[in-house]
Amino acid sequence: MRIGAHISSAGGHHLVFERAREIGAEAVQLFISAPQQWKLPACTDEQIEHFRAAQTASGMPAFFHGVYLMNFGSTDNALLEKAVASLTAYRHFAGRMGVTGTIFHVGSHLGAGFTSELVARIGRMLRQVLDAEPDNPSLVILENNAGQGNCIGGTFAELGALIAALDSDPRVAVCVDTCHAYAMGYDLATPAGCESAMAEFDREIGFERLVAVHANDTKQPIGTFRDRHENIGDGHIGYDGFRTLMGHRAVSEVPFLLEVPGLDGKGPDAKNISRLKKLRKELGIPAPKMPRVPRVKSSG
């Protein structure tokens, strides 16, 4: 089990690995374009080479997060075309850069309901993304939603239905956000609740498709449908909840990626990383072997 984080790629995508190492992260998630804009990512051959070299040296798996504007539940054809183009571009570069896959929110049905017609339509759009590069091994990774705004994919059953609409394509996987799941009513804070949630996940989706966990505590009580991330141990899931989840067999080899506000309000930090590492150690879960970073000799 690796403990990682969403890392800023400002100044160069390859810099995420050094920044991750500085806070003790063992895996990274990043954007390769502005998350609130439709502008497609554009990575040069040189940038891709630098990224791959930095990743190899770090020994860290990497994930992309798709832009927030995508909504595959929209009825606006122009917006749907932009969503397909954005996810297709992200998947293209994920394949070229050796990235595991792109995690993204499916969107909102805007009050129309989670109907069979909606599921089929989303399936056709995601099939376009996959068929654009049939030999690209990079995954399309659905993230569960928190239940707000007529969201799609708030429940594991809805995610499972979307996967079934893609004929259970092996290139489709799932990332579970702990804050979102708790907001939807999945009680990850207790042993019984966690076991029930994971049993539902396995029944509706299958543990083999779980490739990442967004490890976020929550400011809100269970079942409030509100997406309010909190630092590890400071929210309603708490240390006991994360200890319980990390001890579950389904996540023993799944990276945990922090998207917390940070103790200083600047995002994932060393203290949050260390909190999860401490729980991992208490549970007797082996830490990954990380490459040694050569020490820079002092010029003096």
Q: For residue 19, what are its two tokens? A: 């920044």
In a domain, 290, yes or no: no
Is the confidence at residue 250, as pLDDT, over 60? yes
Report pLDDT for 294: 55
CATH number, domain at 252? 3.20.20.150
Query: In angstroms, how far apart are the furthest CA atoms of the chain?
Result: 69
Indicate the helix (H) or strand (E) that contains 230: strand 229-230
Distances in whole angstroms, Cα of residue 152 to Cα of each of 17, 102, 230? 32, 17, 23
Interval 254-279: pLDDT, tens: 999 999 999 999 999 999 999 999 99
Report pLDDT for 118: 95
pLDDT band of 97, cuts 50, 70, 90: very high
Is the confidence at residue 295, as pLDDT, over 60? no
User: What percent of the chain is modeled with pLDDT above 90?
Assistant: 90
Count other C-beta atoms under 10 Å from residue 281's C-beta: 11
Interval 61-95: pLDDT, tens: 999 999 999 999 999 999 999 999 999 999 999 99
Q: For residue 136, what are its two tokens? A: 């690209």
pTM of this structure: 0.93
The CA-based dihedral angle spanning residues 201, 207, 208, 214, taken in that order and rounded to the nearest 10 degrees: 80
In a domain, 299, yes or no: no
The Cα–Cα gap between 110 and 113 comes to 8
Q: What is the mean pLDDT of the chain?
A: 94
Report pLDDT for 188: 93
DSSP code at position 151: B
Report pLDDT for 151: 92
Contact 110, 73 (CB under 8 A): yes
> What's phi and psi for 59, nearest 5 deg?
75, 20
Q: Are strands 229-230 and 217-218 parallel, antiparallel or unpaired?
A: antiparallel
Which residues sit opposite 65 in a β-bridge? 103
In a domain, 44, yes or no: yes
Interval 154-212: pLDDT, tens: 999 999 999 999 999 999 999 999 999 999 999 999 999 999 999 999 999 999 999 99
Report pLDDT for 5: 98
Report pLDDT for 296: 40
In a domain, 287, yes or no: no
Report pLDDT for 293: 63
In a domain, 297, yes or no: no
In a domain, 13, yes or no: yes
> What's phi and psi for 198, nearest 5 deg?
-70, -30
Provide CB contacts within 8 A for 6, sequence distance 6+: 28, 29, 30, 65, 257, 258, 259, 267, 268
Q: Supply the range of the domain harboring residue 160.
A: 3-282
Report the number of distinct structural domains present in the chain. Answer: 1
In a domain, 213, yes or no: yes
pLDDT band of 148, cuts 50, 70, 90: confident
Count other C-beta atoms under 10 Å from residue 155's C-beta: 20
In a domain, 191, yes or no: yes
